[in-house]
């Protein structure tokens, strides 16, 4: 996959998930503006209101709402960049299973919903939860969850092209980098910190682009740990 092809593929993915507003691409998160908006208690952008709508799978949320939700999460008191899901080991059993049955569906849904209460932007859980509801035959719920998942991806893709640190994708969790790579069907060869960015390098010559940059500075209060 050449550099131009990779960019085209990202644009194609953006246009097919949630919103088709390509003019929104490369809008770096303005955390000061986001903070001002999500702290207005009488506003529709007040963070608890937005989060409640997100949890209820409100399909009227706009790209701006998702931007305030996703990047506004790091401004919340309970945000922890080192958060580890206590249910991770139990969830992994379902992720790695060759086949799930009806009993597995219900068990995973309970674990997933409990986990999302603590971390509403666990993209891996959201993606797999939509899949489990599909397997269960509840495509209506699967579509609602998938809409949230896809529009978060759209929000991230709208911050840059990932081809250099200055135009990196902005993420609020390192795990989201891996989800994006999976969606783009890319495999990382190595990982390193470069400036404010996490750089995921690819095998030389495999994709026509050396790697992708993800800005993670906000995870640590604008200071990358050594």
Beta carbons of 118 and 91 less than 8 angstroms apart: no
Could you tell me which residues come within 8 angstroms of residue 162 by beta carbon, excluding any fewer than 6 positions away? 10, 168, 169, 212, 213, 214
> What value does the mean pLDDT take over residues 108-126?
96
For residues 30 and 50, give the distance between their C-alpha atoms in angstroms, rounded to a whole number. Answer: 18
Could you tell me which residues come within 8 angstroms of residue 67 by beta carbon, excluding any fewer than 6 positions away? 27, 29, 34, 155, 158
DSSP string, 128-161: HHHHHHHHHT-HHHHHHHHHHHHHHHHHHHTT--
For residues 124 and 122, give the distance between their C-alpha atoms in angstroms, rounded to a whole number. Answer: 6
Instruction: List pLDDT tens digits, range 65-102.
Output: 999 999 999 999 989 888 899 999 999 999 988 888 99
> What value does the mean pLDDT take over residues 118-129?
95
Beta carbons of 197 and 212 less than 8 angstroms apart: no
For residues 199 and 17, give the distance between their C-alpha atoms in angstroms, rounded to a whole number. Answer: 25
Q: What is the band of 4 on the pLDDT scale with cuts at 50, 70, 90?
A: very low
- Residue 120's alpha-carbon distances to 62, 98, 192, in angstroms, are 17, 26, 27
From 217, 74, 70, 72, select the one nearest 155 (Cα to Cα).
70
**Could you give the count of Cα atoms lying within 13 Å of 40 in the half-sphere of its Cβ?**
9
Instruction: List pLDDT tens digits, range 185-207.
Output: 889 999 999 999 999 999 988 88
Q: What is the band of 221 on the pLDDT scale with cuts at 50, 70, 90?
A: low
pLDDT confidence of residue 118 = 94
**Count of CB atoms situated within 10 Å of the CB of 50:** 21
Could you tell me which residues come within 8 angstroms of residue 185 by beta carbon, excluding any fewer than 6 positions away? none
Mean model confidence pLDDT for the chain: 86
Instruction: List pLDDT tens digits, range 15-38.
Output: 444 333 434 447 899 999 999 999
Domain boundaries, the chain: 88-150
Name the 3-class secondary structure at 202: coil
pLDDT confidence of residue 194 = 93
Select 88-150's CATH number: 1.10.10, 1.10.3680, 3.90.25, 1.25.40.
1.25.40
Note the pTM of the prediction, 2 decimals: 0.86
8-state DSSP, 168: P
Taking 60 as the threshold, does the pLDDT of residue 223 lie above it?
A: no
**Could you give the count of Cα atoms lying within 13 Å of 102 in the half-sphere of its Cβ?**
1
Kindly state the percentage of the chain with pLDDT values over 90: 71
């Amino acid at each position: 996959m050449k550099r131009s092809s990779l960019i085209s593929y990202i644009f194609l993915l953006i246009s097919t998930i949630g919103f088709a507003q390509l003019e929104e691409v490369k809008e770096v998160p303005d955390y000061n503006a986001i903070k001002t908006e999500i702290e207005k208690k009488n506003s529709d952008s007040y963070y608890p209101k937005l989060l409640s709508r997100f949890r209820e799978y409100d399909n009227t949320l706009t790209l701006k709402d998702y931007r305030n939700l996703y990047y506004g999460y790091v401004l919340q008191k309970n945000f922890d960049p080192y958060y580890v899901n206590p249910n991770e080991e139990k969830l992994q059993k379902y992720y790695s299973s060759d086949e799930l049955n009806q009993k597995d569906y219900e068990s995973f849904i309970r674990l997933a919903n409990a986990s999302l209460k603590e971390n509403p932007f666990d993209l891996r859980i959201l993606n797999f939860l939509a899949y489990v509801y599909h397997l269960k035959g509840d495509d209506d719920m699967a579509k609602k969850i998938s809409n949230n998942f896809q529009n978060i991806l759209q929000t991230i893709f709208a911050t840059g092209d990932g081809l250099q640190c200055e135009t990196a994708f902005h993420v609020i969790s390192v795990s989201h980098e891996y989800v994006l790579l999976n969606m783009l069907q890319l495999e990382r060869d190595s990982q390193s910190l470069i400036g404010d960015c996490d750089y995921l390098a690819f095998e030389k010559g495999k994709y026509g682009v050396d790697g992708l940059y993800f800005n993670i500075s906000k995870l640590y209060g604008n200071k990358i740990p050594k």
